[in-house]
Amino acid sequence: MQSDTPSFVTREQRGAVLVLWIDNPPVNALGAGVRAGLADGIANANANPETRAVVLLSRGRMFSAGAEISEFNQPPKPPRLTDLCNQIEASPKPVVAGIQGRALGGGLELALAAHARVSLADVLLGLPEVNLGILPGAGGTQRLPRLIEPDQALSMMISGDPVSAPEALAMGLLDKVVEQDLEAATITYALHMAANGPPVPTRDRRDGFRDGKRFFASIAAARKTQEACPLPGPRRIIDCVEAANLLPFDQGLSFERAAFGELVVTPESQALRHAFFAERRAAHMEGARAKPHPLAHISVLGSGNDAVALILDLLSAGYDVTIVDQDTQSLSEGLEAVALFLSAEVKAGRMPQAEHDAQWSRLYPALSGSDDGEAADMLLLTGPYRARGAEVPAVPVKAGAPIVTLGHLRAGGAQAIGLVLMPATPNGRLAEILIAPNTQPEAIATLLLLLRKLGRRVVQGQNSGVNAGLILALQSSLKTLEALHGPEPVQDLLSRWGMLRDKDGHVPPPSGPVNLWSGLAAPVMGALANAGLRMIGEGTALRPSDIDLALILGHGFPRWGGGPMLWAARRGLMVLRDDLNHWAGDAPEIWSPSPLLDDLIRQGISLGDLNDA
């Protein structure tokens, strides 16, 4: 028998077990409808004498990714996730969660409130709230340390990194791991629990508290490692885990709720959430919904350093690659550079010999102008072939294949796209695609497919692109300020922003608390925000948050700073205009207010409005 509870939860009676199916695609977010459906289902099970146990399962590819994004920054709708977790935990009949795919954030907190957890072997479980500047707010800081060792619980919540099912089983976070038939295994486990008396709620578990000396040593060690952390979130997580041992459970929940409330209004958390939504918005670009062409074989024209780096990425991602050049010597040098890198990876133990052989077997050399070889699904122009006005020799490509130029957008018809690959930063790997009004959406979609496979976050620009505009504004403003104030304040600013690399190219970690906004921060932020407004006005950038995302991912600016456009929004557009007019006396070409700024003020339009347009 099947019946529907409100919205996204389906009840299915399986003998003495009531199965509650969460069905809220694509990630089974725990929105108000899901929470209400689960609460009604638990109440129904406990009121039905024929039901002996409850099983929580999910449709689709994952158990739950946690909170419903659309409810962010909205008044909470009942039941709150905390109340639902308490209801599940208090059930006199065992509730067992069956987990597939991922259980993250509130999804894992829901599973922690259950009396047992069964999962498939490929599951990942995590509490990544720290990446949004907050902490698990539905009992996660109180329940997790009761189930596993304190250092393990602290590591999961402070790093935000997920753990695999085998790791979670060894920790005690999972009770059983199966290779297949999750539904049957979870139902069987629930019936077994029902036959063995009332379940033990997680709040009454003491597994993680058995060794008090180890527990408080872990707390002290975690506090020491976070002394230099500029963010308050990790320190408050440590406080909450300590409270789990020191306070009665309900008081611990209250402590966690207060800490969550403190963190959610901090500027750091607001900036981290801004960056999170910026990444989601950036995916909504021209061509994103088009159907990509099949992509298996890629030709790279050129054999210099940029070509070699790109070829290595393509081979690692599993593509067949043809390296093309006009003369045998250049071609041989490119092949040799690839071979040396792959051999070094094997020698260093970072690549198995079998993987080396597989990658090398997918690399094919070809001289330009030759008709030999298979036509490629995409052509990438590198080195001298990417220069404006450079003659591009004939390379076999399939009809409709994207012609992608590194560094800028060349004239070349509807298949022509520019691609800027920014160096990796501690925040990620950014790519910017440059398009023209007539660029074919399918060509864009095909390049997006490739970049996702290469692990690149993407923003889209036109003309010279967002990153070029940011680099120009940053370099020119710093040069002007260095002439006025000397090099030390400039170097201090770049160091605090995590954008000053040492001689080996590494970014030194902060040695203490970091103030992003002191010193010369305001005029540099103003220059970047003004450049951003110009780019939006000219159509180079799609939206303000793309500019922030480019500075964070492509240039290493701290995520918890949010970026120049968030800084400008907080400053207020009228105040920003006054600031720019003041600084424009030193360099009007940098700080003279963008025409768009006056238009926004006159029309009462905010930068947030432009993000949502």
Q: What is the pLDDT of residues 468-521, one digit of tens each?
A: 999 999 999 999 999 999 999 999 999 999 998 777 777 777 666 789 999 999
Whose CA is closest to 412, among 376, 436, 446?
Answer: 436
Give how far Cα 61 sits from Cα of 12, 255, 311, 431, Å: 19, 34, 32, 28
Give how far Cα 95 sits from Cα of 30, 136, 497, Å: 17, 21, 48
Q: What is the pLDDT of residue 510?
A: 65
Pairing relationship of beta strands 403-406 and 9-14 according to DSSP bridges:
unpaired
Those residues whose C-beta lies under 8 Å from the C-beta of residue 442, and which sit 6 or more positions away, are 287, 290, 291, 292, 293, 400
Pairing relationship of beta strands 416-421 and 176-178 according to DSSP bridges:
unpaired
User: Tens digit of pLDDT for each residue in 331-347?
Assistant: 999 999 999 999 999 99
Give how far Cα 477 sits from Cα of 259, 523, 591, Å: 39, 8, 9
Look up residue 201 and give its DSSP letter.
P
Pairing relationship of beta strands 378-381 and 297-301 according to DSSP bridges:
parallel
Name the residue type at position 332. Answer: S
Q: What is the pLDDT of residue 508?
A: 73
What does the chain come to in residues?
A: 613
Q: Which two structure tokens, joined as six digits, stand for 190?
A: 């629930």
Using 70 as the pLDDT threshold, list the residues of the chain that sit under it.
1-7, 371-372, 510-512
Question: Are 53 and 190 in contact, with CB atoms under 8 Å apart?
Answer: yes
Name the residue type at position 94. Answer: P
CA distance 399 to 395: 12
Pairing relationship of beta strands 2-4 and 378-381 according to DSSP bridges:
unpaired
> Known catalytic residues?
109, 129
CA dihedral 500, 504, 509, 511 (to 10 degrees): -90
Give how far Cα 555 sits from Cα of 234, 371, 458, 499, 544, Å: 24, 41, 14, 7, 16
Q: What is the DSSP string of 45-103?
A: HHH-TT--EEEEEESSS-SB--S-GGGTTS---SSPHHHHHHHHHH-SS-EEEEE-SEE
Map out the domains of the chain with their CATH numbers.
2-265 (3.90.226.10), 297-461 (3.40.50.720), 466-612 (1.10.1040.50)
Question: Are 249 and 142 in contact, with CB atoms under 8 Å apart?
Answer: yes
In the beta sheet, which residues pair with residue 2?
Answer: 12
- Is the peptide bond between 79 and the residue preceding it cis, with omega within 30 degrees of 0? yes
Phi, psi of 467 (to 5 degrees): -65, -35
Question: Are 126 and 168 in contact, with CB atoms under 8 Å apart?
Answer: no
CA distance 449 to 454: 9
Those residues whose C-beta lies under 8 Å from the C-beta of residue 22, and which sit 6 or more positions away, are 8, 9, 28, 34, 37, 38, 56, 57, 58, 59, 63, 64
First to last CA, the chain: 46
Q: What is the pLDDT of residue 200?
A: 97
Whose CA is closest to 102, among 91, 111, 94?
Answer: 111
Scan for tokens 């950038």, then name that residue.
541
- Is the peptide bond between 402 and the residue preceding it cis, with omega within 30 degrees of 0? no
- Is the peptide bond between 352 and the residue preceding it cis, with omega within 30 degrees of 0? no
Q: What is the pLDDT of residue 75?
A: 85
In the beta sheet, which residues pair with residue 54?
Answer: 18, 95
Beta strands in 435-489 (DSSP E): 457-461
Q: Which two structure tokens, joined as six digits, stand for 334?
A: 């490119």
Count Cβ atoms below 10 Å from residue 87 Cβ, excluding itself. Answer: 18
CA distance 544 to 537: 11
Whose CA is closest to 548, among 234, 266, 160, 280?
Answer: 280
CA distance 350 to 335: 20
Scan for tokens 């402070």, then name that residue.
158
Largest CA distance in the chain: 82
pTM over 0.85: yes
Scan for tokens 């997006």, then name that residue.
448
